A and B are shown apart, each in its own frame.
Chain A
Amino acid sequence: MSARSWRLVKIGAEILVPLAILLAWQLWTASAHQPRFPRLSTILVQFREMWLFSQFGEHVVPSLVRILAGFAIGSLIGVALGIPLGLSTRARRAAMPHIEYWRAMPPPALLPISVILAHSIGDRQKIEFIAFFCIFPVLLNTIAGIRAIDPTLVDTARSYGIPRHERVRRIVLPAAFPQIMAGLRVSLALAVIMMVLTEYFSSTNGVGYVLLISKNTFQLVPMWAAIVLIGVIGYLINFVFLLVERRVLAWHRGWRAALPD
C-alpha cells in the first residue's frame, strides 16, 4: 500500500470508528427496548430540549460558575503557597506533612464535615470545597517545577544583583510555568468531578442536581441527557484548557524544540 493511501486509511478510521460506535449504540438501544437504556436519538432530542438552551441559564450556568470560581481560587492559593515552599527548604519541610495528608484525603470524606461546619452547603460552601481540593495538584506541581529549575539561572541572576522579587517574577515563575500548567489541568478535571459531588448534596440548581432529581423520579431520558451534558462539559473545559495552554506555552515549546537533545 502506498504511503498516501495508508494516510487516507488512517484519516478514514479516525472519522469512521467514532461514528460506528455511535451507530452501534443507537442500534443496540433501539433493539434492546430497555427503559434504562433509552435510544441514543431519544437522548439527543431530550438533550437539545433541556440544554439548548431552555434550562441552560437555570442549571448549567450555576454549575459552570462553581467550577470556575472554585478552580480559580484554589489555583491562586496553590501558586501563591507553592512559590515560597518551592524556594525555602525549611518551609517545605514544615508544610509537607500537612500537604501529604490533605492531598491523600479522598474529597468526598470531607463533604459531611463541611456540611456540619457550615450548617448547610450553599453556593459559597460548594465553591470553598472545590477550591480547597483544587489547591493540591497546583501546589505540588508549583513546588516541583520550582525545585527543578537550573540553579545556575538563579545564581547568575543573583550575582547580577537582580532583587529577589524580580528573580521570582522573571526567572522562577516562567521556568516553573509548564509544570504549573500541568497541575492546573489536573485541578480543572478535579473541579468538574467535585462540582457534581457537591451538587448531589442539598442543592436547588446545577447539573448534578438535575441528574440526582431525574434519577430519584425515574425520569431516565432526562437523566441520560444530564450525564451526556456533564460529559460534554468535561470535554469542552479540557479542550479550552488545551487551547489556552498551547498559546501560553508556545514560547516553551519553541525553546524546547530548538534545544539539541
Chain B
Amino acid sequence: MKRALSVLDRLIPLLSVVAALLVWQFVSVTGIVDERDLPSMTTTVRELWHLMQTGTFWHQLLLTVRGWALGLGVATVLAVPIGIVLGSSDLAGRAFRVPIEFLRPIPSAALIPLLFLTLGTNLKSEVFLAAFGAFWPLLVQTMYGVRDVDPVALDTARSFGLGRLERMYRVTLPSTVPYIATGVRISSTVALILAFTAELFMGVPGLGQAMNVAGAFGLTDTIYALALATGFLGVAIHISTTAVERRALRWHPSQRQEVAL
C-alpha cells in the first residue's frame, strides 16, 4: 500500500505537467481563447521544433546566453572585491551606505533610454544593463557574508599570529563563499531578465530581438515558441546556478535563511 502511494507521488509532477499541457490544448482547440491569440500546444511545440532545426535559433540563444554570462561575470568581478572591502571596513561601509542604499533600488529598466543614447544598441548596452542589475544582490550578499564571519574564528586566527591578508584569505573568504554563491544565484536570474530586456527593447541581437521581429511580422506561433524556449533557458540557468550554490554550500555548516527569488 505504502509502495503504491510513493509511486503515485513520484508520478504527480509528471501528471500535473501533462494535465496543464492538455488544458492548454483544450482551451485553444475549442476556441475558448481564439487560436489566433493562443496557438495550441501542439502547434507551438511543432513551431519550436522547426526553430530548433535552424542555426539562427541556436545562434540567437547563444547571443542571449553570452549577454547573460558577460553581465553576470562583470558584476561578480566588481561586486565581490568591493563587497569584501565595504564589509570588512566599518569606515568604508558607513561612507558608502547612503549611495548604495540609493542606487540599489533604481530599476535598471529605467536606464534603457540612456543606454540608447550613450552606448547604443549593441552588446555593450546589454552587458551594462545585465551587470548593473546583477551587481547589487551580489554586493549586498558579499557584505553580509563578510560581516557574518565568526568573530571567534577571526580572533583565534589573530592570536595565532596570522596577518591581516592571511586572515582574509584563510578565514573571511572561505566563510563568505556560500553567501557569494547565493548572490550569484539571485543575480543570475536578474542578469537573464535584463539581457532579454535589452534585446527586446533595444534590438540587441538575441532571443529577445527575435521575438520583437516575430511580433512585427505578426508571427504569433513563433512568439509563443520563443517564449517557451526562453522559459526553458531560464529553468536551465536556474538549475545550474542552484547546483553551483549547493556545491559551495556542501562543506559549510551555516544554517542561513535564504530569500527565494
Interface residues of chain A, those whose CB is within 8 Å of chain B, are 9-11, 13-14, 16-18, 21, 36, 89-90, 93-98, 100-113, 115-117, 119, 137, 140-141, 144, 148, 179, 182-183, 185-186, 189, 192-193, 195-197, 200, 208, 211-212, 214-215, 220, 223-224, 226-227, 230-231, 234-235, 237-238
Q: Nearest residue in B to A191 (C-beta to C-beta)?
A: B107
Question: Nearest chain-A residue to B227 (Cβ)?
Answer: A109
A-B Cβ contacts below 8 A, count: 173
A105 is contacted by which of B110, B112, B230, B260 (Cβ under 8 Å)? Answer: B230
Question: Within the complex, which residue of B108, B211, B257 is in contact with A179, where a contact is CB–CB below 8 Å?
Answer: B257
What are 6 residue pairs bridging A and B, where the CB atoms are less than 8 Å apart in the complex? A18-B98, A109-B211, A112-B211, A116-B220, A230-B106, A235-B102
Query: Is B12 positioned at the interface, with any CB of A under 8 Å from its CB?
Result: yes
Contact residues in A for B135 (Cβ distance below 8 Å): none
Complex Cα spacing A54 to B97, Å? 32
* CB neighbours of A90 from chain B (8 A): 9, 12
Contacts of A195 in B (CB 8 A): 107
Chain B 136-163 per-residue mask, 1 if CB under 8 angstroms from chain A, else 0: 0000000000000000000000000000
Residues in chain B near residue A108, CB distance under 8 A: 193, 196-197, 200-201, 208
Chain A residues contacting B118 (CB-CB under 8 Å) are 36
Instruction: State the Cβ distance, A24 to closest chain B Cβ, in Å.
Output: 11
Chain A residues near B167 (CB, 8 Å)? none
Nearest residue (CB) in B for A143 is B260
Which of B47-55, B75-83, B233-241, B246-254 participates in binding chain A? B233-241
Across-interface contacts of B122 in A (CB, < 8 A): none
CB-based contact A137/B260 at 8 Å:
yes
Residues of A contacting B96 with CB < 8 Å? 17
Most buried by A among B106, B238, B257: B106
Q: Is the CB of A9 within 8 A of B91?
A: yes
Interface flag for B128 (CB, 8 Å): no
Interface centre among B13, B109, B193 (most CB of A within 10 A): B109
Which 8 A-B pairs rank lowest in CB-CB distance, beginning with the nearest?
Answer: A104-B234, A215-B113, A234-B105, A140-B260, A13-B95, A193-B107, A94-B16, A230-B110
Chain A residues in 8 Å Cβ range of B98: 14, 17-18
Per DSSP, are chain B's interface residues mostly helix, strand or loop, or mixed?
Answer: helix
Report A-chain residues with C-beta under 8 Å of the C-beta of B192: 106
Given contacts A100-B238, A140-B260, contact A227 B114 (CB under 8 A): yes
With contacts A108-B200, A108-B201 known, is A193 near B102, CB below 8 A? no
Range class of the B interface residue count: 35 or more
B259-A183 in contact (CB<8A): yes
Least CB distance from B93 to A in Å reads 9
Q: Which residues of B contact A94 (CB under 8 A)?
A: 12-13, 15-16
B38 within 8 A of A: yes
Q: Which chain B positions have C-beta within 8 A of A179?
A: 257, 259
Q: CB distance A116 to B37 under 8 Å?
A: yes
Residues of B within 8 A of A10 (CB): 90-91, 94-95
Minimum distance in angstroms from B197 CB to a CB of chain A: 5
Min CB gap B124→A, angstroms: 15
CA A133 – CA B37 in complex, angstroms? 21
Are B105 and A212 in contact, CB atoms less than 8 angstroms apart?
no
Find A148's partner among B103, B112, B193, B257 (CB 8 Å cutoff): B257
Question: Within 8 Å CB of A106, what residues of B?
Answer: 192-193, 196-197, 230, 234
Q: Which of A183, A215, A224, A237 has its CB near the most chain B CB atoms (within 10 A)?
A: A215
Interface contact B111-A237, CB-CB below 8 Å: no
Contact B109 A193 (CB under 8 A): yes
CB distance from B68 to the nearest CB of A (A): 10
Query: For residues 21 through 74 of chain B, which have their beta carbon under 8 Å from a beta carbon of chain A?
Result: 33, 37-38
